[in-house]
Amino acid sequence: MRPLHPIALLVMGAILFNVCSARGASQTIKTSTNIVKSNSDRLKQQPSIGSCQGLAERVDELADGFQYTEGPAWDKRRGRWIFSDVTGDTVYGITPDGALTRIRAQAGFPNGRAFRDDGKVVVAQHDRTLNLVEGDGSNFTRLIDSYKGKKLNSPNDVSIAKDGSTYFTDPMFGIQGYGPEKAESELGYAGIYKLVNGQLSLLNKELATPNGIAITNDQRTLIVSDTSTDQLFSIDLTSFSGKPVAATLLTTLNKLNDGGDGHGPDGLKIAADGSIWATGKGGIHVLEADGTFKCGIPFPNHVANLAFGGNNNEFILVTAGDKVYKITLR
């Protein structure tokens, strides 16, 4: 993710309610003021499904009033998504019908996350750390914060393999002024990493701004977005033997018609059929597994990330600027 201009954040921050609960405490947000819109308001602001009529039925706004939303992941044990308000430094939960819960405040500027099979969440944070936490926000623990004695830049997004290996991207967004500290990179590059049993390995350091990350369903390939180049890359995991491996260009994303400007590709997910749902300029780009463009869903504001959810993955939660949306799939 790459948050909005600081002036825009100040404006949106003025309408954000005060978040002051202690780390680890969950609190249901019962008021709709400045956060959850009424159903009628949501319908008035419903974006188009663009050229994806064969895949999606509708898009509805679930909630707004945040600063910069990111990092959605489906918590199947609780029937809700978890997502971050990165610059609001808060973690929330939201159900498909829009019930909002504040899970963790003063959270370390959390960004992307992924659930492990045991129900715990690996979360990448702009305080330069990768962490583990329960789905209810409790038992927050540090996993890693450095590589070969040098501090990480700002872990950004996470994907977890079926064998438990954790993959994450480490661009410099957090230390460029979008996290709690502004600093020079100690590493000197933006890396893509693999974490197994506490051991951290560098997979690749070729991309300028590695951001979104997902593992293909056959577990053989990583798909990674490079924000500054508008491109998606693939990394062959079967060729990794401890030393960095090359990233291969998969596709370049063009701006979607009728969508907002935003910036380059950010978060992405891979569907059960192997298709790639990637954020990019103008909204969500749906691609075949080989990178061929399939269809697009335009959004008026920059889409940072998305996550499938629901009992049968019939929904997608979309994090976009100060809002979160729900896509209902066919």
Is residue 312 left, alpha or beta, with left meaning phi > 0 and alpha meaning psi from -120 to 50? alpha
Q: Which pLDDT does position 45 carry in this prediction?
A: 52
The answer to whether residue 46 sits within a structural domain is: no
Confidence (pTM)? 0.87
Distance CA 240, CA 251 (A): 22
Q: Helix (H, G, I), strand (E, B), or coil: what is residue 27? A: strand
The answer to whether residue 36 sits within a structural domain is: no
- DSSP state letter for 229: G
Do 105 and 19 meet the contact criterion of CB atoms below 8 Å apart? yes
User: Tell me, what amino acid is at 46?
Assistant: Q
Distance CA 327, CA 325 (A): 7
Structure tokens at 46: 């419903």
Residue of 194, 257, 266, 261 whose CA lies nearest to 232: 266
Q: Which pLDDT does position 24 carry in this prediction?
A: 41
Q: Which pLDDT does position 262 carry in this prediction?
A: 80
CATH code assigned at 16 = 2.120.10.30
User: Tell me, what amino acid is at 39?
Assistant: N
The answer to whether residue 32 sits within a structural domain is: no
Structure tokens at 248: 């291969």
Q: Which pLDDT does position 178 carry in this prediction?
A: 79
Distance CA 123, CA 110 (A): 7
The answer to whether residue 56 sits within a structural domain is: yes
Domain residues for the domain of 261 are 6-22+51-329
Q: Which pLDDT does position 46 carry in this prediction?
A: 64
For the stretch 44-66, what's the b/e string if a residue is b when 16 or more beta carbons lie within 10 angstroms of its beta carbon? eeebbbbbbeebbeebbbbbbbb
Q: Which pLDDT does position 261 carry in this prediction?
A: 82
Number of domains in the chain: 1
Distance CA 295, CA 121 (A): 31
The answer to whether residue 41 sits within a structural domain is: no
User: pLDDT tens track of the chain, all 330 residues?
Assistant: 544 444 343 333 433 333 333 334 444 443 333 344 434 444 445 678 999 999 999 999 999 999 999 999 999 999 999 999 999 999 999 999 999 999 999 999 999 999 999 999 999 999 999 999 999 999 999 999 999 999 999 999 999 999 999 999 999 999 998 788 899 999 999 999 999 999 999 999 999 999 999 999 999 999 999 999 999 999 999 999 999 999 999 999 999 988 988 889 999 999 999 999 999 999 999 999 999 999 999 999 899 999 999 999 999 999 999 999 999 999
User: Tell me, what amino acid is at 116?
Assistant: R
Distance CA 276, CA 91 (A): 26
The answer to whether residue 33 sits within a structural domain is: no
**Residue carrying the six token digits 């920059």:** 302
The answer to whether residue 34 sits within a structural domain is: no
Do 157 and 167 meet the contact criterion of CB atoms below 8 Å apart? no
Distance CA 133, CA 91 (A): 11
**Residue carrying the six token digits 């450095």:** 146
The answer to whether residue 37 sits within a structural domain is: no
Distance CA 272, CA 171 (A): 28
